[in-house]
């Protein structure tokens, strides 16, 4: 069983929901990312979602865009992200790692080579924002061969027919985008999310993760009532940016601390969802 399948099976047994933090590899610095990942796990992350920086991150709101810009300014590359996963895996063999990014760096790397390199590094899943089912076939073949789950997104605008097409191709879990908009959008309507999740659940047994618009323990708790997993990204990065701007000369470990503390609070929120 894959790490992702094993994790969701175990959580189901424990009647717990998965918490998935997103951070950008190389932000605020390349050397600190592995340590940040370990601390996020310690604070309650079940799955790690690592953003692969891209020069033109079209689906990201400003907070994550700036994270991508900082990471690229720090020299982060797709190969560099794989190195980070490799290093993380030396001390953690259990926590599933999902990479989220855009098609072009992967195209440049080469589908086959990238799928193999990802498997070697210990990556479990891939989310490629601009490879919808219509465009992902070739890459998906390579991922399947490397036993990596290609994780597809379903959005509020996805029709029932498309949901069926997406489900037929999906592995690992399904990433349900909570709002029409970019990452970090503000207007989360949990009733609306709940209603769409129940439609999707009628069509698949795959776990359903919800992301976009979840920014604190309360919104995470409300989403966790209806979802199998909760994704938090912009809020963590925003917290680190605020901490780094609050005081001159902070150590990176202190900046990371801001995200770690917020994640711990969100963990408590998620865990209170079934009580």
CB of 106 to other proteins, least distance (A): 7
- Looking at beta carbons only, is 103 or 203 nearer to other proteins? 103
132 binds other proteins (CB under 8 A): yes
Nearest of 151, 129, 147 to residue 209 by alpha carbon: 151
Neighbours of 58 (CB within 10 A): 10
CB of 192 to other proteins, least distance (A): 13
Q: Which stretch binds other proteins (CB under 8 A): 179-187, 203-211, 222-230, 256-264?
A: 179-187
Q: Which stretch binds other proteins (CB under 8 A): 2-10, 72-80, 201-209, 266-274?
A: 72-80
130 binds other proteins (CB under 8 A): yes
172 binds other proteins (CB under 8 A): no
- Looking at beta carbons only, is 85 or 266 nearer to other proteins? 85
Q: Residue from 1, 93, 108, 191 that binds other proteins (CB under 8 A)?
A: 108
CB of 180 to other proteins, least distance (A): 6
Contact between residue 217 and residue 265 where contact means Cβ atoms under 8 Å apart: yes
Q: Which stretch binds other proteins (CB under 8 A): 13-21, 48-56, 202-210, 236-244?
A: 48-56
Q: Residue from 43, 131, 206, 255 that binds other proteins (CB under 8 A)?
A: 131
109 binds other proteins (CB under 8 A): yes
- Looking at beta carbons only, is 171 or 267 nearer to other proteins? 171
- Looking at beta carbons only, is 64 or 229 nearer to other proteins? 64
Cis bond before residue 137 (omega within 30° of 0)? no
54 binds other proteins (CB under 8 A): yes
CB of 154 to other proteins, least distance (A): 7
For Cα atoms 147, 103, 121, give the angle at the middle one, nearest 5 degrees.
40
In sequence order, what DSSP letters do the residues of 40-93 get, joined into one string?
HHHTT-SSEEEE---S--TT--HHHHHHHHHHHHTT--HHHHHHHHHHHHHH-S
69 binds other proteins (CB under 8 A): yes
- Looking at beta carbons only, is 90 or 108 nearer to other proteins? 108
Angle of the 234-246 helix axis to the 252-271 helix axis, nearest 10: 140
Task: Dig out the tokens for 30 from the structure.
Answer: 């390349």
The position carrying tokens 């760096």 is 105
Q: Residue from 19, 99, 106, 220 that binds other proteins (CB under 8 A)?
A: 106
């Amino acid at each position: 069983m894959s790490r992702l399948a094993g994790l969701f099976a175990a959580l189901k047994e424990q009647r717990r929901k998965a918490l998935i933090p997103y951070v950008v590899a190389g932000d605020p610095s390349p050397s600190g990312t592995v340590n940040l990942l370990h601390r996020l796990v310690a604070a309650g992350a079940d799955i790690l979602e690592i953003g692969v920086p891209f020069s033109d991150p079209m689906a990201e709101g400003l907070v994550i865009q700036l994270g991508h810009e900082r990471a690229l300014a720090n020299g982060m590359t797709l190969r560099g992200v794989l190195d980070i996963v490799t290093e993380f895996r030396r001390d953690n063999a259990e926590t599933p790692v999902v990479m989220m990014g855009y098609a072009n760096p992967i195209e440049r790397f080469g589908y086959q080579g990238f799928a193999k390199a990802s498997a070697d590094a210990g990556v479990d899943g891939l989310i490629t924002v601009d490879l919808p089912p219509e465009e992902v076939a070739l890459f998906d073949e390579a991922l399947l061969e490397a036993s990596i789950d290609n994780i597809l997104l379903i959005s509020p605008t996805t029709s029932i027919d498309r949901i069926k097409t997406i489900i037929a191709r999906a592995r690992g879990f399904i990433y349900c985008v909570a709002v029409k908009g970019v990452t970090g959008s503000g207007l989360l309507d949990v009733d609306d999310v709940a209603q769409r999740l129940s439609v999707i659940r009628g069509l698949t047994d795959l776990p359903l993760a919800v992301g976009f618009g979840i920014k604190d323990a309360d919104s995470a708790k409300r989403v966790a009532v209806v979802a199998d997993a909760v994704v938090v990204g912009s809020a963590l990065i925003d917290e680190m940016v605020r901490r780094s701007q609050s005081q001159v000369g902070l150590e990176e470990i202190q900046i990371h601390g801001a995200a770690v503390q917020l994640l711990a609070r969100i963990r408590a929120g998620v865990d209170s969802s079934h009580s």
